Amino acid sequence: MSEETLFTKIINGDIPAEIVYEDEHCFAIRDIAPKAPTHLLVIPRKPIPRLVDASSEDKALLGHLMLAVGDIAKQAGVDEAFRVVINNGAGVGQTVFHLHLHILGNKAFSEDSLGF
């Protein structure tokens, strides 16, 4: 039996978290250690470990996640300016190996750089 990821435990209610959005395919929570005043994680229910582990059968799910990000950003009131981050691999800081998209808002990021 495969180990449940942290995010699967959260959506199953085994670990507490504030769920700010959920639908059939994904859910969103507040990051426990926010890097911006608004820092949400958008997580597919399907536990794909990394973005590179997604396959063509996940095409609709990946599109769904992008549309959900827009809806969740609107709901959070940051849709005029927010950044979306996906960490792929420990080398860039991925710590939870269950695909997730960070929504970072209400923070003054540099306008001409990806540095943050």
Q: Which residues bind ligand 5GP (CB under 6 A)?
A: 6, 15, 17, 29-33, 41, 87, 93-96
Q: Is 102 a catalytic site residue?
A: no
Residue placing its CB nearer to ligand 5GP in the complex, 17 or 73: 17
Give the per-residue SS3 of the chain.
CCCCCHHHHHHCCCCCCCEEEECCCEEEEECCCCCCCEEEEEEECCCCCCHHHCCHHHHHHHHHHHHHHHHHHHHHCCCCCEEEECCCCHHHCCCCCCCCEEEEECCCCCCCCCCC
In the complex, the smallest distance separating the C-beta of residue 111 from ligand 5GP, rounded to whole angstroms, is 23
Residue placing its CB nearer to ligand 5GP in the complex, 81 or 96: 96
- What residues act catalytically? 100
